[in-house]
Amino acid sequence: MCVVGLGYLGATHALAMAKLGHEVVGIDIDSTKVESMNAGKISFHEPGLEVALREALSEKLVRFQTSFEMTEPAEVVFICVGTPQTGSGGSADMSFVFAAGETLSKAVSPETVVVGKSTVPVGTAAALRNRMSKVAGFPIHLAWNPEFLREGTALEDSLKPDRIVIGSWDDYSSHKLKDVYKPILDEGTPLVEVDVPTAELVKVAANAFLATKVSFINAMAEIAEVTGADAVELAKAIGYDERIGNEFLRNGIGFGGGCLPKDIRAFVARAEELGAGEAVSFLKDVDAINRRRRARVVTLAAQELGELKNKKVLMLGLSFKPDSDDMRDSPALDIALQLDQAGAQVTVHDPVALGELGDKHPALIREQILSAAAKGQDLVILGTEWSEYRALDPTAFGKLVANKLIIDGRNVLDVAAWQAAGWRLIALGRNVHN
Ligand SMILES: NC(=O)c1ccc[n+]([C@@H]2O[C@H](COP(=O)([O-])OP(=O)(O)OC[C@H]3O[C@@H](n4cnc5c(N)ncnc54)[C@H](O)[C@@H]3O)[C@@H](O)[C@H]2O)c1
């Protein structure tokens, strides 16, 4: 089989397929990525993936190339290229999907099943099938098989998914895909077979729901902040109701990453194109609540410090979530940049993401050693809940800073322990008496 696009999704999927025993050719237009994968190196941080890559290389189950040419046409080709946000309108940029599809059309046979895994606006698959069939000169078998992996646990999620969703126009394609996933399906993983538009929608609907849940509890945090209530206790209390559940119900600085924010914006844009914008217009509020939480931290910092100009602030964490170096639409990075804009001297620390910053945002002071990063800071903000931050000793850490003031952007610190060590701790949506 073949996997086109070797980013977070494609690299993980290629290696998950190799783990199932399939022979995989991975294709990416980025030659640096291809060379590095052939050398056993993954260009991003994802636990367990590099070990899986080395195993697959040594078993000769994977190889990577920039060319779409294959010695024999693949039986199944997965399209895993990016679908980033285009511009301010929020719609998704489909140019990578169509470009990959058109190049693929010249490399596949009438028997090949092409499978879309990228997250796309509903209707993309039909357009892609038409375009590809025109270029190939025969009808392309196309199916849609959305991916629900979470960065940080990507390989495990791919191998042990909550469900497999297959959308297809013909039995031939769905049978091929079920064959690919046989070892996973044999373990009892639920299979949901649907039409193609439903398969495209499932992914954006799931992300819209998750984003709404996070913004719901963040909206409750806004109310808690003006009423003296405690959003963490509130979440605990409502989360015991099985219909609500306590997952994804911790208030803080909100969601980010390469999926949720751009997926809800693209969903709204597509629904508006289809004349059904009203149905999902609430997602604009979901997005606005999410962004307001970032601004709230900047406001709190200014209130606590009197003014931000020349104040020293340390941001703990830059990636959008722990166990990942992905900084796409990261709340922590966004807040660090807003504080910098407001005149603060911002130092950033992250266990893995600093290297990814490269020469972007030169005003942010990078510090790899946490104790050095903490020295002389007026304010510390916990932006990403890495385990090493959760495990910090507030007494020892307090000896390094100039001012024992911390904003817990993720509500993960033990308030009593930090206060006992002399810290003033500000927790979003919480009635914390310092
Ligand atoms: N990252 C996740 O956790 C995740 C989870 C589920 C679904 N998705 C979806 O998967 C898709 C990919 O996301 P990602 O995070 O892996 O993106 P990414 O930007 O990390 O990777 C995309 C890759 O596609 C390659 N590419 C672009 N055009 C190409 C072409 N014509 N031919 C071959 N390769 C090409 C790029 O060089 C890049 O390596 C998106 O639609 C995303 O929404 C992502």
**Band (5; pLDDT cuts 50, 70, 90):** very high
Distance CA(280)–CA(30), nearest Å, equals 36
Question: Cα of 46 to ligand 1 centre, how many Å?
Answer: 15
* Same domain assignment for residues 18 and 92: yes
Is the C-beta atom of 10 inside 6 A of ligand 1? Answer: yes
Position in ligand 1 atom list of the atom nearest CA 30: 37
Number of neighbouring beta carbons within 10 Å of residue 356: 16
Last residue of a domain, one of 252, 285, 318: 285
Q: Which of 103, 259, 323 to mutate to test the pocket of ligand 1 (most atoms within 8 A of CB)?
A: 259
* Same domain assignment for residues 409 and 334: yes
Q: Please check whether residue 279 lies inside any domain of the structure.
A: yes
* Same domain assignment for residues 153 and 219: no
Question: Cα of 259 to ligand 1 centre, how many Å?
Answer: 10
Task: Give the C-alpha distances (Å, rounded to integers) separating 63 from 33, 57, 70.
Answer: 12, 7, 11
* Same domain assignment for residues 74 and 146: yes
Q: Please check whether residue 323 lies inside any domain of the structure.
A: yes
Kindly state the tokens that stand for 44.
């991003």
Residue-wise pLDDT for 330-358, tens only, equals: 999 999 999 999 999 999 999 999 999 98
* Same domain assignment for residues 278 and 299: no
Can you give the pLDDT at residue 381?
99
* Same domain assignment for residues 14 and 155: yes
Is the C-beta atom of 26 inside 6 A of ligand 1? Answer: no
Is the C-beta atom of 79 inside 6 A of ligand 1? Answer: no
- Give the domain extent around 126: 2-192
Q: What is the CATH number of the domain that holds 312?
A: 3.40.50.720
**Band (71; pLDDT cuts 50, 70, 90):** confident
Can you give the pLDDT at residue 172?
98
* Same domain assignment for residues 115 and 242: no
Residue-wise pLDDT for 206-254, tens only, equals: 999 999 999 999 999 999 999 999 999 999 999 999 999 999 999 999 9
Q: Whose CA is nearest to atom 44 of ligand 1?
A: 9
* Same domain assignment for residues 304 and 412: yes
Question: 259 an active-site residue?
Answer: yes
Number of structural domains in the chain: 3
Question: Cα of 417 to ligand 1 centre, how many Å?
Answer: 42
Can you give the pLDDT at residue 421?
98
Mean pLDDT within 397-404: 98
Can you give the pLDDT at residue 431?
85
Question: Cα of 116 to ligand 1 centre, how many Å?
Answer: 11
pLDDT at 155 over 80: yes
**Band (73; pLDDT cuts 50, 70, 90):** confident
Distance CA(311)–CA(379), nearest Å, equals 8
Residue-wise pLDDT for 23-44, tens only, equals: 999 999 999 999 999 999 999 9
Distance CA(84)–CA(107), nearest Å, equals 25
**Band (434; pLDDT cuts 50, 70, 90):** confident
Is the C-beta atom of 28 inside 6 A of ligand 1? Answer: yes
